[in-house]
Amino acid sequence: MSDMLEIRWHGRGGQGVKTAALLLADVAFNTGKYVQGFPEYGPERMGAPVTAYNRICDEVIRDHSNIYEPDFVVVVDETLLKSVNVIKGLKPEGAILVNTDQGPEKIAAKLKGYAGKVLTIDARKISEELLGAYFPNMPMLAGVIKMSRVMDEQVFLDNMNISLKHKFASKPQMITGNMKVLERSLGEVQGL
Amino acid sequence: MKHKNVEINEKIGWRDISVAGHITGGGTSKEFHTGDWRNLRPVLVLEKCKQCLLCAPVCPDSSIAVTRGKRQEFDYDHCKGCGICARVCPFDAIYMEKEVVSDD
Amino acid sequence: MIKDRLSGNEAVALAMKSMNMDVMAAFPITPSTEIPQYFSQFVADGATETIFVPVESEHSAMSACIGAQAAGARSCTATSSCGLALMNEVLSVASSLRLPITMCCVTRALTGPINIHNDHSDAMGVRDCGWIQLYAENAQEAYDNYIMAVRIAEDPKALLPVMVCQDGFITSHAVENIILLAEDEIRKFAGFYEPENYLFNSREKVAYGPYDSPVYFMEHKRQQAQAMIDSLEVINAVSQSFGDLTGRYYDLLEAYRAEDADRLLVVLGSTAGTAKQVVDELRKAGEKVGLIKIRAFRPFPVQALVQALGNAKIVAVLDKSEGMSANGGPLFADVCAALGGRGPRLVNYIYGLGGRDVRPLHIKEVFEHLKDDIEGKTPAAKTAANYRYLAVRE
């Protein structure tokens, strides 16, 4: 299972962290991978810290435990950096992606002790400029693809286009908007 | 009592007894003579009865049949002798008497 | 063959829909809520002809299923934890009336203390209610078991309700790869439900559930017990034909790398997957370890288990519920009874209660303890007793 990719998501209840993890599972599945996408449930309240996980592999995944030593960590809400140890167990050869308007150096300084790569993306800015509202999901999903290189970017975009067409069959304007978000986000990950 | 032509009685073994006690065929309670439970027996005094029919619906054992607007004699095979009919009768047309042990 | 990725709850809801059940009656409770939720969406979309009955409690859900099934309708439900406990009374009514109802039990700890996470205390609490219980390792097995459950339940040799158990959150809420069957294949497999006796049969009257006096009650219980014994064969036969259809063959239990193992685990549910990975890892290092995953817990597969445990020196039975017997958990009790004092030494671990995560390192720990036990060392388990706890703070 050495080629298994393990990802941990941190966010707050209501930010669609579970949905993002399931979307990643979807898109990886579409490219022929074995996947797992699952949330860690706790007291379910708006704003409470939420964790979700992904495993992606070329072989059948049988491990049903949570992920303790992820290859990658995604932080959907940067205020969590204060309250949650987001780098716990994170592999030094891996990377962390944080949704913030600050650059990687400033975030790295807040993640004392993490020797690996620190990446940032301003999901709020991208989402608000292109969709007119704050949906951090899509920029973060694109950011994860960029960070993990789990699949080719064009393959990712093509697959997302199919998924979104299915999901927003009755709201076609959402398809083009979200596709623009994904394309732009792939180019706006800082610290690569 | 029968289930699909199998006689269900106290000698039947577990292999042959009806599954889960299901009973096929309707109206099988007729075969169960609850009249044996009776120690008081209702008696109808026909000349006092006005056929008001208050007694028939209150009988818990459906032992007062009504035919063409008239109540019939008690169904003593199933009447348990509870006496409700005697209590509701406004004309004292029903009285209860001690059950007699018949000679046969 | 349809490749998809679904959570365990989605998969079961889909299986229920594909079979075009006549009636689903359910009351929501975490973590099974999604099943009636997805299902009522199917109903609202007109994707199924099933009548969905939103009831006011789990007791009513099972009662509605009993009424519907007795009337002649194929009925199903889903529940968890306290919901299953509330059904307890009527579960025995369903099984003793020999009504082939199917249910998905999304296992969750029984309160208290209050907890919404996974363990098997709910399902174990109703293990004596006369329901067949099948346990699933992952979403695929939950789906497959559910499709098989209907045929197992309705087989005239069984005529027993079936509970398909899957682990709450761990498989119910995890999206995984799954292979689905086409709806017409499932319907063909499940067949048409035509019970011998049913209340809506206008040609022949039948009474269900008469009072059973002491002169009859025991004969009916003996008969019901025989149905449970005979259902071992039914499960095997249905699993065989499901295998012929899908290529996925299931037995009463799965022996994984067990043949020449000196140390074995006996487990239920999702832990089997995690443990298989550990077994593979330890096997690579030359250690003779393996595991037995019990698929059918009721009826308990005694013969298959005795055979599978044959050559081991020591066996750890992992119980995801505390039986409060002061003598180990319920799975342990059944394994002990099956072996009747013969065969390998048996030890019991209570583990994974109330959602305590079961990690590969915990499984490794058990295998290390077993090694110590074999070598006669003071075990790292800190006790030589056979009744132990895994991953509890001392």
Per-residue pLDDT reduced to its tens digit, A55-107: 999 999 999 999 999 999 999 999 999 999 999 999 999 999 999 999 999 99
Residues C5-16 have a mean pLDDT of 97
Global pTM? 0.93
What is the total count of domains within chain A? 1
pLDDT band, residue C306 (cuts 50/70/90) = very high
The conformation of residue C383, written as its DSSP 8-state character, comes to -
Q: Are residues C222 and C310 in the same domain?
A: no
Q: Are residues B50 and B69 in the same domain?
A: yes
ipTM: 0.92
Range of the domain at C302: 253-389
Q: Are residues C204 and C75 in the same domain?
A: yes
Tokens of C77: 């439900």
- CB contacts of A25 in chain C (<8 Å) are 5, 175
Is the predicted pLDDT of residue A48 greater than 90, yes or no?
A: no
Residue in A1, A22, A36 nearest the CB of C277: A1
Q: Are residues C134 and C162 in the same domain?
A: yes
Is C357's CB within 8 Å of A66's CB? yes
Q: Three-state SS for C197?
A: coil
A96 in a structural domain: yes
Is the predicted pLDDT of residue C29 greater than 80, yes or no?
A: yes
Is the predicted pLDDT of residue C194 greater than 70, yes or no?
A: yes
- CB contacts of A35 in chain C (<8 Å) are 5, 175-177
Q: Are residues B27 and B40 in the same domain?
A: no
- CB contacts of C205 in chain B (<8 Å) are 24-26
Element (H or E) spanning B84, and its range? helix B84-88
Is the predicted pLDDT of residue C296 greater than 60, yes or no?
A: yes
A192 in a structural domain: no
Is B22's CB within 8 Å of C223's CB? no
- CB contacts of B25 in chain C (<8 Å) are 204-205
For residue C226, the tally of other CB atoms under 10 A from its CB is 13
Q: Are residues B57 and B82 in the same domain?
A: yes
Q: Dump pLDDT digits (tens) for C79-114.
A: 999 999 999 999 999 999 999 999 999 999 999 899
C153 in a structural domain: yes
Q: Dump pLDDT digits (tens) for A126-135.
A: 999 999 999 9
The conformation of residue C170, written as its DSSP 8-state character, comes to T
Q: Are residues C257 and C242 in the same domain?
A: no
Which pLDDT score is estimated for C311?
87
Is A64's CB within 8 Å of C274's CB? yes
Instruction: Name the range with the highest mean pLDDT among A131-135, B17-21, C34-38.
Output: C34-38
Which pLDDT score is estimated for C357?
97
Q: Are residues B28 and B16 in the same domain?
A: yes
A77 in a structural domain: yes
Which pLDDT score is estimated for B3?
64
- CB contacts of C169 in chain A (<8 Å) are 38-39, 41
pLDDT band, residue B32 (cuts 50/70/90) = confident
Is B24's CB within 8 Å of C205's CB? yes
Q: Are residues B88 and B47 in the same domain?
A: yes
What is the total count of domains within chain B? 2
Q: Dump pLDDT digits (tens) for B74-88.
A: 999 999 999 999 999
Mutate to test the interface with C, among B23, B29, B30, B34 (most CBs of C within 10 A): B23
Q: What mean pLDDT, rounded, does chain A reach?
A: 93
Q: Is C289 on the interface with A (CB under 8 A)?
A: no
Q: Is C171 on the interface with A (CB under 8 A)?
A: yes
Amino acid occupying residue C131? W
Alpha carbons C310 and A157: distance in angstroms, whole number: 54
Q: Are residues C67 and C200 in the same domain?
A: yes
Q: Is C276 on the interface with A (CB under 8 A)?
A: yes
Range of the domain at B76: 33-104
Q: Are residues B18 and B60 in the same domain?
A: no
Q: Which of C343, C298, C347 is nearest to C95 (CA)?
A: C298
Which pLDDT score is estimated for A165?
87
- Chains in contact with A, where contact requires at least 3 CB pairs less than 8 Å apart: C
- CB contacts of A22 in chain C (<8 Å) are 175
Q: Are residues C299 and C207 in the same domain?
A: no
Region of C348 on the Ramachandran plot (φ > 0 left; ψ -120 to 50 alpha; else beta) = beta
Q: Is C156 on the interface with B (CB under 8 A)?
A: no
Which pLDDT score is estimated for C381?
56
Lowest mean pLDDT among A140-149, B6-15, C217-226: B6-15
Q: Are residues C159 and C53 in the same domain?
A: yes
C-alpha dist (Å) from residue C27 to C14, C20, C143, C171, C333: 18, 19, 21, 20, 32
Is C174's CB within 8 Å of A22's CB? no
Final residue belonging to a domain, choices C191, C222, C246 = C246
**Beta carbons within 8 Å of C39's beta carbon, 6+ residues apart:** C13, C16, C17, C24, C26, C48, C50, C52
Residues B15-44 have a mean pLDDT of 91
Is A63's CB within 8 Å of C274's CB? yes
From A16's Cα to the closest Cα of chain C, the distance in A is 15
Range of the domain at A32: 5-186
Is the predicted pLDDT of residue B6 greater than 80, yes or no?
A: no
Q: Are residues C304 and C332 in the same domain?
A: yes
Q: Are residues C188 and C259 in the same domain?
A: no
Which pLDDT score is estimated for A169?
82
Q: Are residues C200 and C310 in the same domain?
A: no
Alpha carbons C388 and C329: distance in angstroms, whole number: 10
Q: Are residues C232 and C94 in the same domain?
A: yes
Q: Are residues B21 and B62 in the same domain?
A: no
The enclosing domain of A55 has a CATH number of 3.40.920.10
Task: Name the H helices within chain C.
Answer: 8-18, 34-44, 58-71, 81-96, 121-125, 139-154, 183-190, 214-246, 271-284, 302-309, 330-339, 360-375
Q: Are residues B42 and B66 in the same domain?
A: yes
- CB contacts of C218 in chain B (<8 Å) are 14
Residue in B14, B26, B28 nearest the CB of C223: B14
Is A65's CB within 8 Å of C173's CB? no
Which pLDDT score is estimated for A166?
81
**Beta carbons within 8 Å of C99's beta carbon, 6+ residues apart:** C65, C66, C69, C70, C159, C161
Alpha carbons A145 and A8: distance in angstroms, whole number: 14
pLDDT band, residue C159 (cuts 50/70/90) = very high
- Chains in contact with B, where contact requires at least 3 CB pairs less than 8 Å apart: C
Q: Dump pLDDT digits (tens) for A74-83.
A: 999 999 999 9
C188 in a structural domain: yes
Is C223's CB within 8 Å of B19's CB? yes
Interface of B with C in 44-103 (CB under 8 A): none
- Chains in contact with C, where contact requires at least 3 CB pairs less than 8 Å apart: A, B
The enclosing domain of B42 has a CATH number of 3.30.70.20
Is the predicted pLDDT of residue C207 greater than 60, yes or no?
A: yes
Residues C229-242 have a mean pLDDT of 98
Q: Give the A:C interface size as CB pairs under 8 Å.
A: 64
Residues C216-229 have a mean pLDDT of 97
The enclosing domain of C127 has a CATH number of 3.40.50.970
What is the total count of domains within chain C? 2
Is the predicted pLDDT of residue C118 greater than 90, yes or no?
A: yes
Q: Are residues C111 and C175 in the same domain?
A: yes
Residue in C205, C208, C219 nearest the CB of B14: C219
Is B24's CB within 8 Å of C96's CB? no
From A66's Cα to the closest Cα of chain C, the distance in A is 7
Q: Is B6 on the interface with C (CB under 8 A)?
A: no
Q: Give the B:C interface size as CB pairs under 8 Å.
A: 48
Find the closest chain C residue to B28 by CA distance: C207
Is B14's CB within 8 Å of C204's CB? no
C394 in a structural domain: no
Mutate to test the interface with C, among A22, A24, A64, A166 (most CBs of C within 10 A): A64
Residues A132-140 have a mean pLDDT of 92
Q: Is B17 on the interface with C (CB under 8 A)?
A: yes
pLDDT band, residue A47 (cuts 50/70/90) = confident
Which pLDDT score is estimated for A89?
96
Is B20's CB within 8 Å of C224's CB? yes
Q: Which of C192, C162, C139, C158 is nearest to C21 (CA)?
A: C192
A80 in a structural domain: yes
Alpha carbons A21 and A28: distance in angstroms, whole number: 11
Is the predicted pLDDT of residue C379 greater than 70, yes or no?
A: no
pLDDT band, residue C312 (cuts 50/70/90) = very high
pLDDT band, residue C47 (cuts 50/70/90) = very high
Final residue belonging to a domain, choices C246, C272, C305 = C246
Find the closest chain C residue to B20 by CA distance: C97
Across-strand partners of A118? Answer: A96
Is the predicted pLDDT of residue C384 greater than 70, yes or no?
A: no
Residues A9-34 have a mean pLDDT of 91
Percent of chain B, pLDDT > 90? 75
Final residue belonging to a domain, choices C181, C216, C246 = C246
A153 in a structural domain: yes
From C336's Cα to the closest Cα of chain B, the distance in A is 29
Is A35's CB within 8 Å of C175's CB? yes
Which pLDDT score is estimated for C162?
98
From C202's Cα to the closest Cα of chain A, the distance in A is 47
Q: Are residues B14 and B41 in the same domain?
A: no
Is the predicted pLDDT of residue A1 greater than 60, yes or no?
A: no
Q: Which of C146, C171, C165 is nearest to C81 (CA)?
A: C165
Q: Are residues B25 and B42 in the same domain?
A: no
Residues C312-337 have a mean pLDDT of 97
- CB contacts of C7 in chain A (<8 Å) are 38
Which pLDDT score is estimated for A143?
97
